[in-house]
């Protein structure tokens, strides 16, 4: 199928540093060639802030989201699957703007909840609020500047693999309608959670923060947390998702190459990307 790899090489507004180095490292490691070998037609598009932009975290993140929304929209209009390679998870809000055309669900793989709000966060990191923004809990005025963005209703969200939550964030999540599938629940209940989601939506945005992986599979970033998912579990989950849903857009985020000395995370990311492309092909006519 046609695939556009949209790279967003920033972390907190800073170009190429920390997790912002992840997208280019994945491209340089041969991700596009691997997808081509699998029979896909691959294009790469880099999304950049104006060179004069001052890197303020929230402002830069939402400026990037506006650009991401436009590129994702163009990509979908061209019949391609947009796969966003981004330093930060907040890119998902731009992606949702680009695909928004009615009812879409989110399947969000992450070690973390990303469900803090400015009132619950104890660290202040915007990425820890990404899913809360996507579901319309906070930053609503600036999120409304993203072309096409509409919050996704919480019953249409699966949070997979999250096990490192702040206390107030956990309370918020527990009181929300987001379906939480931390690793043990994921292993027991993923199939029925997909069936339940399928009663509400037929299309999904598939978001993979690579730190959902167990550190034994390779260390993804400074935020890595123990007791995560094995690569085989993530790949098999993606195949299940592709059998039940049309995957409209996807993302791989939060890869910091500085922690990946042995290249195992890079290899895992390539495998996950290939499985996303294969899973998305199942429900896309003519590919
Ligand atoms: Mn995340």
Structural tokens at position 272: 């996950």
State in Å: Cα 54 to ligand 1 middle: 24
**Chain center to CA of 162:** 13
Distances (CA, A) of 213 to 105, 120, 224, 255: 22, 25, 8, 11
Paired sense of beta strands 105-109 and 157-160, if any: parallel
Sign of the CA dihedral running 27, 33, 39, 45 = positive
- The neighbourhood of ligand 1, an ion, using CB within 5 A, equals 89, 110, 114, 209
CA of 110 to the centre of ligand 1 (A): 5
Angle between helices 183-198 and 231-244 (to 10 degrees): 10
For CA atoms 249, 91, 15, 169, the dihedral sign is: negative
Q: Measure 75 CA to ligand 1 centroid, in angstroms.
A: 24
- Structural domains of the chain sorted by starting position, each given as residue range(s) with its CATH number in brackets: 2-280 (3.40.800.10)
Strand locations in 25-133, DSSP E?
A: 41-46, 81-86, 105-109
285 CA distance to ligand 1 middle (Å):
31
* Spatial CA neighbour of 206 closest among 251, 266, 174: 251
d(CA 264, CA 241): 24
Query: Distance, CA 254 to ligand 1 centroid (Å)?
Result: 7
Going by DSSP bridges, is the β-strand pair 14-15/10-11 parallel, antiparallel, or unpaired? antiparallel
Q: pLDDT truncated to tens, each residue of the chain (287 aa)?
A: 999 999 999 999 999 999 999 999 999 999 999 999 999 999 999 999 998 888 899 999 999 999 999 999 999 999 999 999 999 999 999 999 999 777 899 999 999 999 999 999 999 999 999 999 999 999 999 999 999 999 999 999 999 999 999 999 999 999 999 999 999 999 999 999 999 999 999 999 999 999 999 999 999 999 999 999 999 999 999 999 999 999 999 999 999 999 999 999 999 999 999 999 999 998 765 44
What is the 127 CA–ligand 1 centroid distance (Å)?
Answer: 6
Distance 135 CA to ligand 1 centre (A): 14
- Collect all residues with Cβ–Cβ distance below 8 Å to 245 and sequence separation of at least 6: 105, 107, 194, 197, 198, 201, 202, 203, 204, 283
SS3 256: coil
Give the residue from 202, 164, 191, 162 showing the smallest Cα distance to 178.
Answer: 162
- Distance (Å, rounded) from C-alpha 45 to C-alpha 29? 16
């Amino acid at each position: 199928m046609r695939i556009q790899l949209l790279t967003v090489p920033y972390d907190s507004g800073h170009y190429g540093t920390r997790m912002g180095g992840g997208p280019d490292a994945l491209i340089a490691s041969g991700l596009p060639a691997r997808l081509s070998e699998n029979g896909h037609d691959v294009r790469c598009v880099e999304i950049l802030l104006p060179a004069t932009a001052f890197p303020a975290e929230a402002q830069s993140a939402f400026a990037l989201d506006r650009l991401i929304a436009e590129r994702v929209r163009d990509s979908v209009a061209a019949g391609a699957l947009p796969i966003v390679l981004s330093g930060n998870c907040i890119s998902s809000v731009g992606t949702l703007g680009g695909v928004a055309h009615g009812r879409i669900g989110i399947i969000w793989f992450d070690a973390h909840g990303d469900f803090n709000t400015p009132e619950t966060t104890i660290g202040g990191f915007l990425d820890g609020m990404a899913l809360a923004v996507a579901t319309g809990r906070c930053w609503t005025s600036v999120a409304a500047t993203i072309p096409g963005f509409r919050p996704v209703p919480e019953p249409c969200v699966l949070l997979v693999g999250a096990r490192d939550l702040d206390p107030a964030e956990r309370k918020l999540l527990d009181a929300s309608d987001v379906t939480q599938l931390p690793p043990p629940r994921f292993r027991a209940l993923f199939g029925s959670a997909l069936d339940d989601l399928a009663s509400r939506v037929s299309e999904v945005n598939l978001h993979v923060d690579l730190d959902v992986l167990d550190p034994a599979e390779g260390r993804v970033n400074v935020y890595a947390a123990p007791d995560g998912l094995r690569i085989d579990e993530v790949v098999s989950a993606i195949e299940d998702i592709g059998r039940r849903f049309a995957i409209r857009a996807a993302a791989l985020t939060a890869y910091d190459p500085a922690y990946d000395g042995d290249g195992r995370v890079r290899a895992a990311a390539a495998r996950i990307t290939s499985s996303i492309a294969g899973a998305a092909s199942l429900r896309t006519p003519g590919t």
